[in-house]
Structure 1
Amino acid sequence: MRTLVIGDIHGGLRALHQIFERAQITPQDRLIFLGDYVDGWSESPQVLDFLIQLQSTHSCIFMRGNHDELLCHWLHESKDNQMWYRHGGESTVKAYAKVDSKTKKRHVLFLQSLENYYLDNQNRLFIHAGFTNMNGVTSEHFPKLFYWERTLWETALSLDKSLGVDSLLYPRRLKLYKEIYIGHTPVTQIGETTPIQMACVWNVDTGAAFKGPLTVLDVDTKTYWQSDPLPDLYPNEIGRN
């Protein structure tokens, strides 16, 4: 059985179909989704429909992303959020204009069921954004940081590579887990479009919301498969660009 981790989808159902085909995903695989299923491209409702159906046939674990939380609040409370609207929510609001109330309720239940993090039996942590507590996720005082914070990735990214793990200066957060898999901050910000490892942190957000591809990574072999760049799959849309 493979354990496969999937980066931020951002409404790109066509890319999701591509990586399933290219990675030859089967019900024997365990699938861990890192969150941000919505906002950006035009098929956010369809992505959620796909994932809801998928969990009836495959072994799936779904993380909560910040965009998923924003959508959940909007669907559940019908409150405008201009910040969300400017950062990908506009395409989602337009897409939901064609969605019936029964489907919206089903989506709310799915979004409410998402996990803040997942820790497997090999001490590998899967989380959308990160955590701040020096004692790890179980001691985090501010759970929203699991899907909003960026300092874990910035710490790993800026770490002096000559610093040994046993050094007193080595960041404690980066010693707690064998590996940490995140999305949230696209690696396109550092000019990359493939999964990037810094210290024990693997960033699998390869910029699908913008001009990059969607990625699925085998956590044991580190083999990965990617979709076409999302603008090629949605040539008449702008995503979050």
Structure 2
Amino acid sequence: MKRTLAIGDIHGGFKALKQVLHRAKVTENDKLIFLGDYVDGWSESSLIIDFLIKLSQKQECIFIKGNHDAWAENWLLLGSEPPVWLANGGQTTVDSYSEYSLEELDVHLEFFQNMKNYYVDEENRLFIHAGYTSTDGPDVEMYTADSRWDRTLWETAVAMDKKLSENPDLYPKKLLLFKEIFIGHTHTLHLGITEPLRKSNVWNLDTGAAFTGALSIMDVDTKEFRQSDTLPHLYPEEKGRNHYKVKLKI
């Protein structure tokens, strides 16, 4: 039976990625939708990209671009190393590529360039890294970077009055555009939650793998999910992004 599985922010944790794919018993019949931020944090960012390139040759994969992926893309293309990127996990990504040839770097650059800003499936479910601001949806967003950076979508969903019915006159219009929305970007640890979290019709699958949390994978139809071990457990000799305060929202 073919499943559609969404995967949250990985942030260089290749061990966690392999673990959740195994625990979810992923087969080549499954469709995989990755919600972005493959890199920056733990030490194996380049290995993740190697793996995903090969994985996409075996089965259907959708790769959404996250804000950290855009930073890595700019580095591969232009050599851009903004301090804010390096300080938020980018240095571990740069270090992971130290032994790569120019030809190998070009292959990875092409992979980043081919990532999608968002994806809408046949059931009108949106998969996007961060969100969008337009009440008409991400396809008419003035700034495409909002798909990688916006937090207002999740903040709106979190702030929703639970008693508010889906009345078109009262309900936030941008939440009515899609049957369901699957995001990453703003990890659930901010709310004291370590598992995928639903607010309104928005599912947040970023369960803090960059910090002290785990990586999550979810069947978008049944909502069954699996998680890796926590990333500090998988990388005991590393800090990931934990040398920064968890309240960071980058």
Aligned to 1:202: 203
Q: CA deviation at 1:100?
A: 1.9
TM-score w.r.t. the length of structure 2 is 0.95
Instruction: Quote the Cα distance in structure 2 between the aligned partners of 1:232 and 1:101.
Output: 34
In structure 1, the residue matched to 2:110 is: 109
In 1, Cα distance between equivalents of 2:200 and 2:138: 18
Runs of 4+ in 1 over 4 A off after TM superposition: none
Q: Map 1:16-27; keep pairs closer than 5 Å.
A: 16-27=17-28
1:212 aligns with 213
Query: What is the Cα deviation at residue 160 of structure 1?
Result: 0.9
Q: CA deviation at 1:98?
A: 2.1
Q: Give the 3-state SS of the residue equivalent to 1:105 in structure 2.
A: helix
Partner Cα distance (2:14, 2:149) in 1: 23
Task: State the partner residue of 1:91.
Answer: 92
Would you say 1:55 and 2:56 are equivalent positions? yes
Structure 1 CA distance, aligned partners of 2:32 and 2:63? 8
**What is aligned with 1:163?**
164
TM-score normalised by L of structure 1: 0.98
Tell me, in whole angstroms, the C-alpha distance in 1 between the residues paired with 2:20 and 2:81: 33
Which residue identity lines up with residue 151 of structure 1 in the other structure? T
Match of 1:139 in 2: 140
State the AA in 2 paired with 1:52. I
Once the two structures are superposed, what CA deviation does each residue of 1:76-109 show, in whole Å capped at 9, x if it has no partner?
A: 1012210101111111111122222221111100
Listed as ranges, the matches of 1:225-236 within 5 Å are 225-236=226-237
Post-superposition Cα deviations, 1:134-184, rounded to whole Å, max 9, x if no partner, equal: 011121111100011111000000111111111522111111100000000
Q: Secondary structure at the match of 1:143?
A: coil
Could you tell me how far apart the structure 2 residues matched to 1:189 and 1:68 are? 22
d(CA) in 2 for partners of 1:156 and 1:80? 34
Unpaired segments ≥5 residues, structure 2: 243-250
Give the whole-Å Cα distance in 1 for the aligned partners of 2:167 and 2:239.
46
What is the aligned residue count? 241
Report the residue type matching 2:28 in the other structure: P
Letter in 2 for 1:28: N
Deviation at 1:57, TM superposition (A): 0.3
Distance in 2 separating the partners of 1:236 and 1:194: 24
Deviations 1:20-64 (A, max 9, x none): 110000000000000000000000000000000000001100000
1:9 corresponding residue in structure 2: 10
- Which residue is equivalent to 2:179? 178
Paired letter, 1:145? D
Percentage of identical aligned residues:
51
Distance in 2, matches of 1:102 and 1:205, equals: 32
Specify the alignment match of 1:46 in structure 2.
Answer: 47
**RMSD of aligned alpha carbons:** 0.8
Deviations 1:203-226 (A, max 9, x none): 000100000000000000000000
